[in-house]
Each structure stands twice: as C-alpha cells, then as structure tokens.
Amino acid sequence: MSASPDLLLPPLLGVEGRVRLPGSKSISNRVLLLAALSEGETRIENCLASDDTARMMEALTALGINCRTLPAQADAPPAIVITGCGGVLPVRQADLFLGNAGTAFRPLTAVLALAGGHYHLHGTARMHERPIGDLLDALRSLGAQIGCTGNEGYPPLTIAPHQDNGATQVRVRGTVSSQFVSALLIALPLLRRPITLALEGETISRPYIDLTIALARRFGLAIEARADNTFFLPGTHGYRSPGVLHVEGDASSASYFLAAGAIGGGEVRVDGVGADSIQGDVRFAEALANMGARIEVHPHHILARPPENARLRAFDLDLNHIPDAAMTLAVAALFADGPCRLRNIASWRVKETDRLAAMSTELRKLGAQVQEEADALTITPPARLRAAAIDTYDDHRMAMCFSLATLGGVDITIRDPACVNKTFPEYFTAFAAISRPVPVIAIDGPAASGKGTVAAAVAQALGYTHLDSGALYRLVALAAQRQQIAPEDEETLARIARDLPARFAQGRVWLENDDVTDAIRAETISQLASQISAHARVRSALFQRQRDFRTAPGLVAEGRDMGSVIFPDATHKFFLTASVEARAQRRTRQAQAMGFHANIDSLRREIAARDAQDAARAHAPLKHWPDAQLIDTTEMDIDTAVQTVLRAIQAASV
C-alpha cells in the first residue's frame, strides 16, 4: 500500500475547545460481532466508522450476516442495524481478509473455530507477524481444527469444523494479549454448555476483559468473574439482542485531546467518555492528574487543563492497564519537569508495530533521551524540542500522539498520516479544530513595492519575528559569489543553501562572522539571487530553515512563496504592489539619499524587466496569491501602508 502524502503540522501557541469523540473501536467491534451472534435485530448507534470496523463488517457480511447502515433521520441518529443469526452462521465456507485489525482477527478466530465451517483468515503482513498461538492452543484443547499456513502460532489460519470433545474447562494464557481471553469469552457460548475459562499467568490489560464481560451482559449473558482467575459461563442460552445499543466515545482517542489540554493553552473538553464509561482507558485521565494537570471527570465528559503556574510533573508508572493510552503519556513526557518512566508495557512489542522501538526512535528525533528496555521506557525531555519528521510505521497511534509535539512550539511533519484511518479517520481535523497555531502574516510583492519596510514595521508593531526570506536567497548568492560557484551549478548551490552559516540579529545580517547587511543589497547580488532562487533544489534546501522562524508570539514572513509553499496556512496574506513609475521614483529617491546618481529611465526599465523575469519563472514565480489581500501602495507613504496592513489584521481577528 502506498503511503499518503506528508502532513505538516504548524507549531502551536496552545489548544482550546471541545471535541466530540468517535465511537470506541473496542466496543464497536465487540458489539458488531455480538449482535451478529445474537437472536434478534440490534440497532447500533455511534458505531465507529474506520478501517478496523470496516474489516469486521465485511467479514460479517461475508459470513451471511445482514448489516445495514442507516443514515440519520429526523428523530434518530445514524445507525448500523444487524440481524443476528442466533449463534448459527449462515455461510459455512469463507475467505476473510481482516487487515491489521486485532479486534476483528482474534474474536473471529475463536468464533469461527467453534462455528462448524471451513474458513481462511488472513490479514496484512504485520498481522501475520503478531502472535496468536496462546489462543489457538486454548481452542484446540476444545477440539478446534486450526492450521497455520505460514509460521505455527501466527496467521494466516485455516479452520475446519471442530470436533467437540465436551470439555467443560479451558485454560488460556493472557500474558501476550488480553484479546485472547476476550475472544474466548465471546465464542464459548456457541458451545451451549456450562464452561469455565481459567487464566494462566499474569493477564495483561485486564480492563479490556472487563469490557467484554460488560458488553456480553448487555447481550443477555452473565459471565461470572471469580476470584481465582476463572470465568464461569452458564451456557443455558446464547446472546440476545438488547434492541438498541449506543457506543460510547473512544477513550483511547480521548487521550490525545486530554493530553493536549494538560500540556498547554486553555481548557479542552472531551465529550463522549467520563466517569460512567466502561472502557479502561478512561483511567488515562488519572495519569494526567498525577502529572499535576487539572482534570475534571464528569459522567459523560472530561475537562483537561494544564497545572496552575507549573510544569507537568515527571512520573514513574506501571501502565499495564492502559497500554494504548500509555503511548500518549510517552509523548506527554516531553513536557514533564524530569525523566519519566513507563513500566510494564511489553505488549507494545506485538501491536501495530513494535511500539517500544518505534516510540524510542521518534522521541529521539525531537531531542529526548530515551532508554529502551524489554518492557519499559525512560524518557528524559529535552530543554527545547526540535522540529522533526515523524515516521508512523502504519500505526495510527504513532501518528496521533506525535501531533502533540507541536505544543512544544515546533513544526512536526507526520509521514503517512492516513494511517489514522484505522481508528479515527477525522483525527487531524478534530486536532486542528482545537489548535491555536503560531500566527503567520505573509507579505509579498514586486521589488520596491514597500514590502520589506512594511513587513519590518508590522513585525515590530506586533512584537513578532520578521523573516526576510529574500535575504536568505541573497546570502546564498553572496556565498556563491565568494566561492566562485557558477549560477547554473544547482547541486553546489543547494549544498551552500543547506549549510548556510546565516544569522539575523538586531536588524543586521551575518554570514558567519561577517556583517553583510549592506553587501547583500548590491545590484550584482540582486541579479544573482534572482537567478539562483529559480533552482528548485535551492528552494527546498531553505524550506525548513524558513519554517523554523515560526515561533511564539508570531511571525511576519516576507517573500515570494511565504503564503503559498512555506506557510500555506498563514493567518493573513498580503500582496503589496505599486505602479512601475512609483517604484522607479522610490528607488531614485533611495539612491539619491545614499549619495548615488540614479537614472530614472534605466530604473524603470530594470524594474519592468525584473517583474517580467520573476513572473515568468517555473519555480515560485511572482504572483498575487489568490487568497492574499491586495494593497496598492502607489499613492501611499510607508506609514499609511503599515497602518493599512495592521487595520486589516485587526479587522480579521474581531
């Protein structure tokens, strides 16, 4: 599968707002299957629509179950309606592709192993690397006929009708995944006899087992959890539809927004989970409170705010009970006041990717020190985060939790962002809705339009940083001239641009230890800058350097592609222009003020020629961005132009 295009997330001043969560993945996939196995019709509201639930619905449909998606109606929300099969699947032979959906693969394996048909279950390459042997052992002890077509203990699986041996006891190891236990609890009622499931070893992620039991109860089946780590299934009847079932919001998905609220800015309210939730991951809120965040848990919503006048506190926690939300905590650790330790998270190794390795690699890119052990991570936050491009390993949670690093005031690029489709297709839209990006005011215009002076004055008036991007191209031109590099030598020029030892301080421009403020304004450098800035590789070499200027409280970015390529999401965009005549006169006056002779006719010709050259080139031609406000400064002095821009900014923010 090809990766989706990179997503550039801007640095944030903070977050604030309200989020309505999509339905819980864990509940949705359990409920879809339970409804399919039940007697009667079930209407499921707020069911998650994502890759993982799509795989489950496709599989159920292939097994002969009638699943219908109903749009919203005047008196009812959208829903999925499933006609249950009463424990007898209509289709006895099927080939099922289940993607990388663990919540589909494990319970369907158990159900189909006891369903009496011939089935082939397979998934993505990663799914074939995720162990399932403990579940197969338990099912085989009941007489299930399951073969592994690749490696023993791993998918793909071939299933033949089981040869029931009448066992009333089954043992399972829950040390690798609690889903093995949940899968058996869902499937065992198909045997229609009393049976006891006994857990061996320390079972991980216990809250997910409790979730399965709670949902089975909604479908009329009382599973008795006993103190000796056994579960008793009475076996008198199978599942019965509860009629209508509302899926609560996804507590793991809530973790990103709650952490965002805890890290910075204003209050974040998350609707759809709360004290009444049956998902274990709501306890993530406790972990944030333990870091000093101000958290309020209400029955159906949670509020998160940062600590009052303090940083988040470092932590050392056993996170076995919330393995998914714990990933969010690993990124929150970047904002803590000291090293943080996440313990008992060995299950991370067999998830969508080896999450211990992936998390360590990516946190280090941001400047953190990370110590990785077999089942733990120790994360020492850096003094300042670094901008980074984050690889996501086809793991939705990697993509979602690293978006929080933007709260460190840095640019984050998320590679293959569409991997969030697994559980939360709208994640980045929801995150953007609560984000307050560092504002950028982009200003461009032709030579002598006044853009440089206006940009500097606007930056000063607002207390923002000023980026004169033309100066960067001029610096490359000067460095190239000094090193006698030909203007056509794109590769060498791109290298110079990448390693440019440029500094901007107190209105002066430095190349290494040389103050070159005036040197870069020479006419030969203007000409050379215009030539070399046409090279695509020179432009991309300067890309991140320019984006790094976007720091709180804001940036005024001046130059050709500021409002299009570098900061397409700029808060305000202006295009300054003036007639050729007015610009030639300005240049003449400037030259005369500096004691030079100036010929207005030749300046007029030069300006017109430069306009034509800049407008005609292939990369970043001079043009009025379609979403920029046009300001004609022909009849304005500088003060008027500055006031016009400031007024436009003010008008837009009220």
Q: Which residues are catalytic?
A: 324
Q: Which residue is nearest to ligand DC (CB)?
A: 470
Strands (E) in 211-284, as ranges, are 224-226, 230-233, 244-246, 265-271
DSSP 562: I
Nearer to ligand DC, 162 or 451 (CB): 451
Residues touching ligand DC, count (CB under 6 A) = 14
Q: Does 529 bind ligand DC (CB under 6 A)?
A: yes
CB 342 within 8 A of CB 376: yes
Closest distance between ligand DC and the C-beta of residue 643, in Å?
22
Q: Does 561 bind ligand DC (CB under 6 A)?
A: yes
Scanning residues 617 to 646, which ones bind ligand DC (CB under 6 A)?
620
Number of H helices, E strands in the chain: 21, 32
The whole-angstrom separation of Cα 413 and Cα 424 is 18
Closest distance between ligand DC and the C-beta of residue 533, in Å?
3
The whole-angstrom separation of Cα 110 and Cα 138 is 9
The residue from 13, 188, 447, 493 that contacts ligand DC (CB under 6 A) is: 447
Nearer to ligand DC, 83 or 531 (CB): 531
Nearer to ligand DC, 345 or 471 (CB): 471
CB 261 within 8 A of CB 12: no
Q: Does 555 bind ligand DC (CB under 6 A)?
A: no
Helix (H/G/I), strand (E/B), else coil: 465? strand
Closest distance between ligand DC and the C-beta of residue 593, in Å?
19
Vertex 337 angle, CA 334 and 340, to 5°: 60
Closest distance between ligand DC and the C-beta of residue 619, in Å?
8
Q: Does 470 bind ligand DC (CB under 6 A)?
A: yes
Q: Does 560 bind ligand DC (CB under 6 A)?
A: yes
The residue from 279, 328, 533, 633 that contacts ligand DC (CB under 6 A) is: 533
Scanning residues 133 to 192, which ones bind ligand DC (CB under 6 A)?
none
Stretch near ligand DC under the rule CB under 6 A, chosen from 31-39, 227-235, 244-252, 467-475: 467-475
Token pair recorded at residue 337: 């006041």
Q: Does 331 bind ligand DC (CB under 6 A)?
A: no
Closest distance between ligand DC and the C-beta of residue 470, in Å?
2
Q: Does 564 bind ligand DC (CB under 6 A)?
A: no
Nearer to ligand DC, 265 or 470 (CB): 470
CA dihedral 602, 603, 606, 611 (to 10 degrees): -150
Closest distance between ligand DC and the C-beta of residue 627, in Å?
17
Nearer to ligand DC, 101 or 496 (CB): 496
The whole-angstrom separation of Cα 645 and Cα 174 is 64
Report which of 67, 73, 74 is spatially closest to residue 31, judged by C-alpha positions.
Answer: 67
Q: Does 446 bind ligand DC (CB under 6 A)?
A: no
Q: Does 469 bind ligand DC (CB under 6 A)?
A: yes
Closest distance between ligand DC and the C-beta of residue 479, in Å?
14
The residue from 180, 473, 549, 625 that contacts ligand DC (CB under 6 A) is: 473
Q: What is the CA radius of gyration of the chain?
A: 31
CB 407 within 8 A of CB 438: no
The whole-angstrom separation of Cα 470 and Cα 525 is 11
Work out the angle between the directed axes of helices 251-263 and 325-332 (0-180°, nearest 10): 10
Q: Does 603 bind ligand DC (CB under 6 A)?
A: no
Helix (H/G/I), strand (E/B), else coil: 52? helix
Cα separations in angstroms, 619 against 76, 153, 530, 537: 52, 55, 11, 10
Stretch near ligand DC under the rule CB under 6 A, chosen from 153-161, 492-500, 558-566, 627-635: 558-566
The residue from 29, 406, 530, 577 that contacts ligand DC (CB under 6 A) is: 530
Closest distance between ligand DC and the C-beta of residue 467, in Å?
9
Report which of 28, 54, 433 is spatially closest to residue 252, judged by C-alpha positions.
Answer: 28
The residue from 242, 408, 559, 563 that contacts ligand DC (CB under 6 A) is: 559
Nearer to ligand DC, 88 or 615 (CB): 615
DSSP 445: -
Stretch near ligand DC under the rule CB under 6 A, chosen from 170-178, 209-217, 525-533, 587-595: 525-533
Q: Does 497 bind ligand DC (CB under 6 A)?
A: no
Residue bearing tokens 């299933």: 159
Work out the angle between the directed axes of helices 25-37 and 178-187 (0-180°, nearest 10): 20
Stretch near ligand DC under the rule CB under 6 A, chosen from 33-41, 286-294, 560-568, 633-641: 560-568
The whole-angstrom separation of Cα 571 and Cα 530 is 27
Work out the angle between the directed axes of helices 600-616 and 523-532 (0-180°, nearest 10): 10
Nearer to ligand DC, 100 or 530 (CB): 530
Question: Where do the H-state alpha helices sit in 44-117?
Answer: 51-62, 102-113
Q: Which stretches of the chain bind ligand DC, using CB under 6 A? A: 447, 469-470, 473-474, 529-530, 533, 559-562, 614, 620
